[in-house]
Amino acid sequence: MLQFDLLKTEGLARRGRLTLNHGVVETPIFMPVGTYGTVKGVMPRSLEEMGAQIILGNTFHLWMRPGLDVLQQFGGLHRFEQWNKPILTDSGGFQVWSLGEMRKISEEGVKFASPVNGDKLFLTPETSMQIQTTLNSDIVMQFDECTPYDTKGHITTEAEARFSMELSRRWALRCKDEFARLENPNALFGIVQGGMFENLREDSLAALVEMDFPGYAVGGVSVGEPKQEMLRIMAHTPHLLPAHKPRYLMGVGTPEDLVEGVMQGVDMFDCVMPTRNARNGHLFTRFGDLKIRNAKHRSDERPLDETCTCYTCAGFRRDDGTVGGGFSRAYLHHLDRCGEMLGPMLATIHNLHYYLNLMREVRAALDAGTFADFARAFRQDRTRGV
């Protein structure tokens, strides 16, 4: 079940609406990453309050723990983690890539030792579809090989990237067949690969479009390549995908990357950056990035961002009308110095709220036909300094 309505365009930028089995998603959208069935440090209620419309789960890790028997018992991931809105699950391909020498890739699939208990495991396109059917995710990703930027100490050659891309293409067909056999009621996305080679990206894209997936992703970026290489592929590939279907750029990125991605025709983004950086004291604000561990914040009474309406910055309104919360930079600096768990929790709330609000502002600008002006103001604000 997937319906995509393209509501408005401005240049290559698109304003859309995605209807899935567990709800409606307004695009462009950022999707918080919930690897093990939870977005680290954030309660589901907080995610809803900050405007999250769809979150991610990780096929590979959920297969390892808690295991398919438990997830089947709960009827899938939604009830297990108490999230009633849409969920997208990755295929396991990126985790396979990250295992490095611990895995062996063949035409059939990938053999590897479990990083949890050392068990010998075999992940195939069919297995990935079976796991994701058990998870009952609204968007299922095809099993692919994530083409590395460098291979055994050298930058991946065009021949190596082609071999990898064509393997992913054959796996895409197997995923499509198994998805249909399982009668999965959700939506399956194909993933465009091809490394840093535009001609391979076009070959991959053409083959996947012929398979007629409900949606498409651009994969194989944010895998160690220089930023300029990623931006080159971002500028080349998304707008070539079918205009009447959703486009997802996997694993990207900074606030600047998101705005640039929208300008290039991307509808959907995910990245661990807002949550991972929060746990390391790195905060995103309208006026640039802030490192809360720096000594200059020790006695600073200001919030992280005076324009931000998140719980961390602005607090909440009590039943009696008074306002509680609204934490100072000094307090967040103190929590980080002391290793208190509230520190990364508050930082994560802020960073995710910032990303989700950025996408909300992007959608409003597209609705108003003022996205180009918004993008200019965004860049100016981000370089102003905190």
Residues taking part in catalysis: 90, 270
Q: With beta carbons less than 8 A apart as the criterion, state whether 133 and 182 touch.
A: yes
Extract the tokens encoding 188: 């399956």
Residue 324: half-sphere exposure toward Cβ, Cα within 13 Å: 4
Which one-letter amino acid corresponds to residue 83?
Answer: W
Q: What share of the chain is helix, strand, coil (3-state, %, to 5)?
A: 45, 20, 35
> What span, in angstroms and rounded, lies between the C-alpha atoms of 244 and 181?
26
Nearest Cα neighbor of 250 from 203, 207, 215 is: 215
Local structure of residue 143 (DSSP, 8 states): P
Local structure of residue 384 (DSSP, 8 states): T
285: Cβ contacts below 8 Å, ≥ 6 apart: 304, 305, 308, 354, 386
What is the DSSP secondary-structure string of 79-103? Answer: HHHT--S-EEE--SHHHHHHTGGGE
What is the DSSP secondary-structure string of 8-25? Answer: EEETTEEEEEEEETTEEE
> What span, in angstroms and rounded, lies between the C-alpha atoms of 118 and 341?
31
Nearest Cα neighbor of 262 from 238, 245, 286, 243 is: 238
- In degrees rounded to 5, what are phi and psi of residue 270? -145, 155
Nearest Cα neighbor of 165 from 104, 224, 129, 206 is: 206
> What span, in angstroms and rounded, lies between the C-alpha atoms of 380 and 274?
21
Extract the tokens encoding 95: 């985790």
Please provide the size of the chain in residues: 386
